[in-house]
């Protein structure tokens, strides 16, 4: 085999310069350690949202990677999503799924695909959602072809969509990394994505807000999807400050405030406590949104809960975290909300 390190290829999903990171696959810079809460720092070492782009002429593509954590899976999320790789190919009809890398242990080496037709093809390889990566190499049989860097996106498509949120934003519980709603939206809108979802810890905290405004390149949109980890009181206290911090640093970049998805069991009519939690969260966010607009804060947008998942209750694994079906439904809602925002003048900033 001839192996190429992922570090020699273009990688999207990093929100900070490589020199600022403790390892190349971290989501927050080294200076965040000891500043953000410890759970946020630990989760930032998961590689959610990172994508390696490359061209390949080989009929076979292999991968080998070393993980940070021994737990490959969770009770409600498979190893392919938690710790696996996910390969997509660019076709005449857009990006299409091709293969998944099933993790075997801390160190894995797998054949992703074989029998590919002759010619040069463009690929994206998504990294694990709930595990970190020490190293990643992409391989082809010796003499069978070559791996090279994919061309950059057009200049007006290089600014990423930045998502700040919860376990759902991070990708729980997608069956594979490319099925997180953030990844689906990135493919559909042809934009890089910075995934700052922190499982159980997306709480609109000022320490994270200060990091958000330092993302580079500057995002074309900031998506704030934190309500599943909050209650109405916390939303009322934190949302205005978060928006003001972003707006002070980036006066023209749109901000999309997102209501929490409706718990699936609420649709049964038998879970008033969960319905009340959804209601108070939404009321607090809506009030903050309207108050900020009255203050004259421009460029605020809003995504309601009702369009994100279906009322059939069939699109989550546990009533809260979407399955792949749920993520497709969420992606539909986010795509509709984001399309006019990434197409506007501020998307080119």
Q: What is the CATH number of the domain that holds 253?
A: 3.40.50.1110
Same domain, 186 and 333: yes
Which of 149, 176, 204 is the C-terminal boundary of a domain?
A: 149
Among residues 95, 115, 149, the one where a domain terminates is 149
Domain co-membership, 323 together with 187? yes
CB 322, CB 330: distance < 8 Å? yes
293 lies in the same domain as 169: yes
Q: Does one domain contain both 227 and 117?
A: no
Q: What is the pLDDT of residue 343?
A: 81
What is the number of other CB atoms lying within 10 angstroms of the CB of residue 142?
9
pLDDT for position 28: 98
Closest listed residue to residue 252, CA positions, set 215, 208, 222: 222
With CA atoms as reference, report the closest residue to 4 among 152, 124, 146, 102: 146
Same domain for 131 and 194, yes or no, is no
Same domain, 175 and 319: yes
- The answer to whether 33 and 114 have CB atoms below 8 angstroms apart is no
Are residues 129 and 54 located together in one domain of the fold?
A: yes
Statement to judge: residues 120 and 258 lie in one domain = no
CA atoms of 83 and 94, how far apart (whole Å): 26
Tell me the per-residue pLDDT of 236-291, one tens digit each, with 9 for 90 and over.
999 999 999 999 999 999 999 999 999 998 988 888 999 999 999 999 999 999 99
In this structure, the answer to whether residues 187 and 105 fall within a common structural domain is no
Query: Do 303 and 184 have their domain in common?
Result: yes
pLDDT at 89: 98
Residue 255 phi, psi (nearest 5): -125, 125
Number of domains, the chain = 2
Let me know whether 114 and 239 are in one domain: no
Which residues of the chain fall below pLDDT 70?
344-349
Q: Identify whether residues 129 and 175 lie together within a single domain.
A: no
Q: What is the pLDDT of residue 349?
A: 36
Contacting residues for 253 by C-beta, under 8 A, at least 6 apart: 218, 219, 220, 221, 222, 246, 299, 346, 349
| pTM of model > 0.85 | yes
pLDDT at position 344: 59
> Containing domain of residue 21, as a range?
2-149
Exposure string of 292-308, with b = 16+ CB inside 10 Å and e = fewer, is beeeebebbbebebebb
The residue written with tokens 């042809």 in the block is: 190
């Amino acid at each position: 085999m001839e192996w190429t390190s992922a570090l020699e290829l273009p990688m999207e999903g990093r929100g900070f310069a490589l020199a600022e990171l403790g390892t190349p696959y971290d989501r927050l810079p080294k200076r965040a350690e000891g500043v953000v809460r410890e759970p946020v720092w630990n989760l930032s070492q998961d590689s959610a949202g990172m994508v390696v782009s490359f061209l390949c002429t080989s009929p076979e593509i292999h991968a080998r990677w070393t993980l940070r954590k021994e737990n490959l899976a969770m009770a409600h999320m498979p190893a392919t999503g938690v710790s696996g790789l996910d390969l997509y190919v660019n076709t005449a009809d857009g990006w299409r799924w091709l293969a998944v890398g099933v993790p075997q242990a801390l160190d894995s080496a797998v054949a992703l695909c074989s029998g590919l037709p002759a010619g040069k093809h463009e690929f994206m390889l998504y990294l694990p959602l709930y595990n970190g990566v020490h190293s990643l190499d992409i391989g082809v049989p010796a003499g069978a072809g070559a791996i090279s860097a994919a061309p950059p996106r057009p200049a007006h498509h290089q600014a990423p969509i930045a998502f700040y949120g919860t376990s759902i934003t991070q990708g729980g519980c997608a069956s594979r990394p490319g099925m997180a709603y953030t990844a689906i939206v990135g493919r559909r809108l042809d934009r890089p994505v910075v995934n700052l979802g922190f499982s159980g810890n997306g709480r609109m905290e000022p320490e994270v807000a200060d990091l958000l405004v330092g993302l580079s390149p500057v995002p074309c949109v900031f998506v704030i999807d934190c309500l599943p980890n909050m209650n109405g009181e916390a939303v009322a206290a934190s949302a205005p400050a978060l928006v003001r911090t972003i707006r002070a640093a980036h006066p023209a970049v749109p901000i999309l405030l997102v209501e929490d998805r409706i718990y699936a069991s609420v649709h049964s009519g038998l879970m008033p406590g969960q319905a009340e939690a959804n209601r108070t969260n939404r009321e607090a966010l809506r009030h903050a949104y309207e108050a900020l607009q009255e203050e004259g804060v421009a460029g605020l947008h809003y995504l309601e809960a009702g369009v994100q998942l279906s009322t059939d209750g069939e699109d989550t694994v546990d009533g809260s975290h979407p399955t792949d079906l749920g993520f497709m439904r969420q992606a539909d809602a986010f795509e509709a909300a984001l399309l006019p925002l990434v197409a506007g003048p501020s998307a080119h900033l």
